[in-house]
Structure 1
Amino acid sequence: MQPMERFDVLVVGARCAGATAAMLMARRGMRVLAVDRGAYGTDTLSTHALMRAGVMLLDRWGLASRLAEAGTPPIRRTTFHYGAQAVPVDLRPGDGVDALYAPRRTLLDSLLVDAAWEAGAEVRHGQTVTALLRDDAGRVGGAMVVDAAGREHAVAAGLVVGADGVGSAVARLAGAPVTEQGRHAAACLYAYVPGLADTGTHWHYAPGAAAGRIPTNAGRHCLFVSVPPVRFRAEMQAGGPAALRRILAEVSPALAEETPALIPDGAPVAFAGRKGFLRQAAGPGWALIGDAGYFKDPITAHGITDALRDAALLADAAAIGGEAAFARFAERRDALSLPLFHVTDEIAGYEWTLEQAQALHIALNRAMKHEIAALAAEVVA
């Protein structure tokens, strides 16, 4: 076994949440190691869209301009479609935000890893955490890490951050309990389609289903549909492309008419659905961010923004240090998450009328505005 390495912080997972946390903590002068079981620049399941709070944070960190420079199309109009009714919403500049973005994760995650390196953090890919190290009092003080060659070594750290997704090894090994459980789960299917005119983001709703188009990199749109899991399983018996076309034609005949001649890049990506949850955000020597700590249904496309937000809140707590700071982190995460969590869970249930869907989106917008105000006032990183 290799000699034990020592860092101030070990971040497990180096995507949106983990790479951001590593960057922000390194900028504060901490010695940070981030490890990830995947390879640099690989793709992953994603909702793509960055909400205003997410773009605001990236702008504050000097990174939003890199998305534009990489060719990510600016989004300045979002249109909600409730059946035949269209409700366009133009972006009002403010908070350092003059456009929203929906980057491919191959771009966004790489950009954040690069920024972590630039800040002085070390990032290692192809590394898996197998156990947590604890002192005699039970406090987490590091982890056992196995590299791609199968070599195991110990890493000591004053803080271990789980940013390793819904199936988080850190959450499991730390024994982090679930504190809030969602009631609903929607399934979704998406593909990257070239050739659509860029008219901003469109979200379509019909009884029992939703669909949409999100402009992303390389002249593509992320074209998606979402339905309850029972219907999803039935639709998928005919294959992903047929399911995507059939549900899209039901939810938005006009959008379906634009796409029949367009050939997607590869097979559609499927997500069978998973009920949302909040896990305990922190404990002695450990903390959770991103989907490891808080996951909600992707139908409201707020997951990337959640990841950036919680990384920033945790970096502030780590800079202060002490139990009170981490308790404050957990309190702020829950206060900002729960309104978004509950309204998303209702939308994912597909038990609404179109009028009720509009009311749920108004409540969602109210929660997001509260989030922006809180981050603008409180997050230092």
Structure 2
Amino acid sequence: MNGVHDLDSHYDAVVIGARCAGAATGLLLARSGARVLMVDRQPYGADTMSTHALMRSAVMQIERWGLIPKFAAAGTPAIRSTTFHYGDEIVRVDIKPDHGVDFLLAPRRTVLDPLLADAAREAGAAVRHGTALSELQFASNGRVIGASLRDGSGACMTVRSDIVIGADGRQSTVAQLVNSKTLVEGFNACGIVFGYFADLNSDGLHWHFARNAAAGVIPTNAAHCVFAAVPASQFVATFRGDVMRGFLQVLAASFPELRANVGRATLVGRLRSFAGATSYLRQCHGAGWALVGDAGYFKDPLTAHGITDALRDAQLLSRGIIDGGIRGLESYQRERDELSLPLVRATDAIASFSWDLDEVKQLHADLSAAMKAEANHIANLSQQPSLAA
């Protein structure tokens, strides 16, 4: 199952990266009748850093794909409310029914990625973990026509493909090899430390904001993810030497009730950290190639919208490929950019921490409007056509 020895020589699409955006793209293409190969350098079910939260449009897609029962069976809690804490002011927002969705989800990546990869495999995609991209194959006119792959044993082979899709993260090898240009870049970033806490007394999503600090509580599988965030420029000074001490100090100084709640819970495993990176939108298609997920578009995790972006773009890209030709891929980039730019601007402003509480409330209103437009766009997409039709 994990080697490259038994692969066919030609595919309609080869997806580099079998997590989240890559797995969702492979699933949708395979369901359309395409011959798809998905490869990932990491083992099946491996964990990764994640924002966890699936906003309304992402849950809508998961429901359309028929996967909600599998997430429920994996113990993913349905989230019925989101609460914003602006200093002492508390604003609770119940998740009201819209587009057939009345809850949110926040699965661990050890749940989300395997479920999507399994669904892609069930749809007919070939899925190989422990297999990495060595190089792309180019025709004399510069078009990407295939990929050279290497598995854990060192065995190599080349496969041909009508399109190679880079879903291989921020440090995307595909993006580097095709020299994808950065079209838009943010200015700000936050540094985050997070961990999983069992027996935490908290209901729904909680987002906390104070001067030069933010925090969140996200219900996920068998625990709550709790994070503390500071401006990236303060990350080293805040957490250097003793990450746990810095984490608890940020909570105690700015969010004492959350600090007390965390003190009554049990940390599962260890704290993890992300020092921060600025947002970007890259050129996401070219002759024989495309980018999806963080490979093509990343923004600061403080607004917890990354997985929603990834699933949205998987659907837009798969539609563009099925529509065929350069026009379909141009439509993918145009839709992606129109939906993403308002989210990038609001997120970049929030990650700056150069706001007071009234200003960050307005930024969240801007973000909410952009997410509503995104959900409306996804809801209005017609049924995906089939390559086999």
Three-state SS of the structure 2 residue aligned to 1:311 is helix
Please point out which of 195, 198, 220 is paired with 1:194. 198
Please point out which of 368, 372, 376 is paired with 2:371. 368
* Of 249-258 and 184-193, the range deviating more from structure 2: 249-258
Which residue identity does 1:161 align to in structure 2?
I
- Residues 195 and 281 (structure 1 numbering): CA distance in 2 closer, same or farther, change over 3 Å? same
Please name the residue that 1:225 is paired with.
228
Which residue identity does 1:28 align to in structure 2?
S
The question of 1:270 aligning with 2:273 is answered yes
Please name the residue that 2:51 is paired with.
47
Please point out which of 288, 291, 298 is paired with 2:294. 291
The question of 1:138 aligning with 2:138 is answered no
- Residues 191 and 17 (structure 1 numbering): CA distance in 2 closer, same or farther, change over 3 Å? same
The question of 1:336 aligning with 2:339 is answered yes
8 Å Cα contact 2:80/2:95 also seen in 1: yes
The question of 1:357 aligning with 2:321 is answered no
Normalising by structure 2, we get a TM-score of: 0.96
Q: Distance in 2 between matches of 1:282 and 1:379?
A: 23
Q: Distance in 2 between matches of 1:324 and 1:237?
A: 49
Three-state SS of the structure 1 residue aligned to 2:160 is strand
Question: Where do 1:170-209 residues align within 5 Å?
Answer: 170-209=174-213
Three-state SS of the structure 1 residue aligned to 2:42 is coil
8 Å Cα contact 2:200/2:264 also seen in 1: no
Which residue identity does 1:281 align to in structure 2?
C
Please point out which of 251, 256, 260 is paired with 1:257. 260
Q: Distance in 1 between matches of 2:180 and 2:334?
A: 16
Please point out which of 4, 19, 22 is paired with 1:15. 19
- Kindly provide the CA deviation profile for residues 160-205 of structure 1, in whole angstroms up to 9, marking residues without a partner as x: 0000000000000011000001101111000000111241110000
- Residues 283 and 379 (structure 1 numbering): CA distance in 2 closer, same or farther, change over 3 Å? farther
The question of 1:97 aligning with 2:72 is answered no
**CA-CA distance at 1:237 after TM superposition:** 2.0
Question: Where do 1:146-185 residues align within 5 Å?
Answer: 146-185=150-189
Q: Distance in 2 between matches of 1:268 and 1:46?
A: 13
Q: Distance in 2 between matches of 1:18 and 1:153?
A: 21
Question: Where do 1:70-89 residues align within 5 Å?
Answer: 70-89=74-93
- Kindly provide the CA deviation profile for residues 102-144 of structure 1, in whole angstroms up to 9, marking residues without a partner as x: 1110000010010000110011011111211111111111111
Q: Distance in 1 between matches of 2:94 and 2:262?
A: 25
Q: Distance in 2 between matches of 1:214 and 1:31?
A: 37
Please point out which of 127, 131, 155 is paired with 1:127. 131
Three-state SS of the structure 2 residue aligned to 1:75 is coil
Three-state SS of the structure 1 residue aligned to 2:309 is helix
Please point out which of 309, 318, 329 is paired with 1:326. 329
How many pairs were matched up?
Answer: 380
- Kindly provide the CA deviation profile for residues 34-63 of structure 1, in whole angstroms up to 9, marking residues without a partner as x: 000000001000001110010011111111
Please point out which of 115, 119, 122 is paired with 1:115. 119
**CA-CA distance at 1:263 after TM superposition:** 2.5
Q: Distance in 1 between matches of 2:261 and 2:89?
A: 18
Gaps of 5+ in 1: none
Q: Distance in 1 between matches of 2:305 and 2:251?
A: 22
Three-state SS of the structure 1 residue aligned to 2:251 is helix
8 Å Cα contact 1:179/1:280 also seen in 2: yes
Which residue identity does 1:345 align to in structure 2?
D
Q: Distance in 2 between matches of 1:211 and 1:307?
A: 23
Q: Distance in 2 between matches of 1:41 and 1:123?
A: 13
% identical aligned pairs: 48
**CA-CA distance at 1:251 after TM superposition:** 2.4
- Residues 109 and 268 (structure 1 numbering): CA distance in 2 closer, same or farther, change over 3 Å? same
**CA-CA distance at 1:27 after TM superposition:** 0.3
**CA-CA distance at 1:69 after TM superposition:** 2.0
Which residue identity does 1:114 align to in structure 2?
D
Please name the residue that 2:42 is paired with.
38
- Residues 4 and 98 (structure 1 numbering): CA distance in 2 closer, same or farther, change over 3 Å? closer
Which runs of structure 1 show a deviation greater than 3 angstroms over 4 or more consecutive aligned residues? Answer: 1-4
Three-state SS of the structure 1 residue aligned to 2:340 is helix
**CA-CA distance at 1:4 after TM superposition:** 7.2
8 Å Cα contact 2:30/2:125 also seen in 1: yes
Please name the residue that 1:61 is paired with.
65
**CA-CA distance at 1:158 after TM superposition:** 0.1
Gaps of 5+ in 2: 385-389
**CA-CA distance at 1:376 after TM superposition:** 1.1
Q: Distance in 2 between matches of 1:130 and 1:70?
A: 34
8 Å Cα contact 1:146/1:153 also seen in 2: yes
**CA-CA distance at 1:250 after TM superposition:** 2.0
8 Å Cα contact 1:60/1:96 also seen in 2: no
* Of 255-264 and 124-133, the range deviating more from structure 2: 255-264
Which residue identity does 2:229 align to in structure 1?
S
**CA-CA distance at 1:298 after TM superposition:** 0.1
**CA-CA distance at 1:326 after TM superposition:** 0.7
Q: Distance in 2 between matches of 1:61 and 1:143?
A: 29
Which residue identity does 1:191 align to in structure 2?
G
Please name the residue that 2:311 is paired with.
308
Please point out which of 212, 216, 223 is paired with 2:216. 212
Which residue identity does 2:68 align to in structure 1?
A
